[in-house]
Structure 1
């Protein structure tokens, strides 16, 4: 029998909270729910969920601040749920540490699809051949940067680096590709657990989300696009690792 998976729903609207809980329960999750950020943070600490959905517009501590506090204590897959139509709000959620976002009103199938895509991610590129920078012990290495996919660990010059799941997956994908350029479309599809076959659709928001993840990743790495130690921007195309 499959191990029970745990999810936390943080949503102040009782009807939407019930809908989110039902969708996740139908997906095989044991769901705990809260109506505000403080209670939701307590649930995350208590249950260490695999997935957490988080409303942006809540009284008291809003979703952005809640996301930052969750990120300080948990690596849960974090999905921001927002009724706001401005793209900047969703991108601000990513900047706070969310892995994905979905806007209200949403279809239950869409939410399930996004969560299923996130859960597929660690296996998304397992069939990629071992790149030049990979050692026999499973580490991907480049200029003092080391990443181990199975252990979900990143180090810079021996010091550990904390990344969100999305940032980790993007960095792992780039390291595996080496000097091959990865486009924003390819990276967005990777985060959705899909492969590029020429027919998949990637929205402007998805492409912009990759830019936000990349900005956050570079900030944590301590580099800039103009002086990259690790990640090089190929203007108008995408990203790749720098030359040795």
Structure 2
């Protein structure tokens, strides 16, 4: 029952709030604390085993979602390499470490806590690589569907600098309209208020597509984080409102002429 609740409720909530990489890091961090607690006698092995089995879905959810940072043609190959080669190697390594700990009469808590700490630290260094991989997929893909997939991945929480990557592509007028519209929808979902600077620049551009500008205005209305952002960036707010005023004036003139 505990595993079911953790898998159905907590795992999805953690992924949505913290992203793929941070969710996996939280699992390993929790394992590190549990292993330390067992080593110092605060909990017994049944508690450690319960944590491992009960919260494994938290790690597994992030692990399986992480495969979608690659394209479908490469995804299965990567999965086979990890689960067919690296996982068995990890099992042999783990058994070897357990035998060494037993041979030298060292407490097993050292091994569990040490491995959990190493995995936690390693996972925390992954976000930049994870973002770079998604950005590379976005830049190299020639198919719109694959670009949309890469944008979806970059829209997940936990990425480093994904908003800047998407903003640069959004400003590129040579990008396909569907791709640009997807970026606007993703930026709205991410709720990063800094995108308003890109929006302001695009609204000021007379060569920019009117449909894209209308999408931008819809996005601004849905950016709930802007209210707090304006309090600390009054000049940016003034600049945006001035841009909006000029844009509205031009639209009225254009409509009156037509």
- TM-score, normalised via structure 1 length: 0.30
For CA contacts below 8 A with separation 6 or more, give which structure has more relative contact order. 2
Q: If you compute each CA radius of gyration, which structure gives the higher value, 1 or 2?
A: 2
Flag the structure with higher strand content: 1
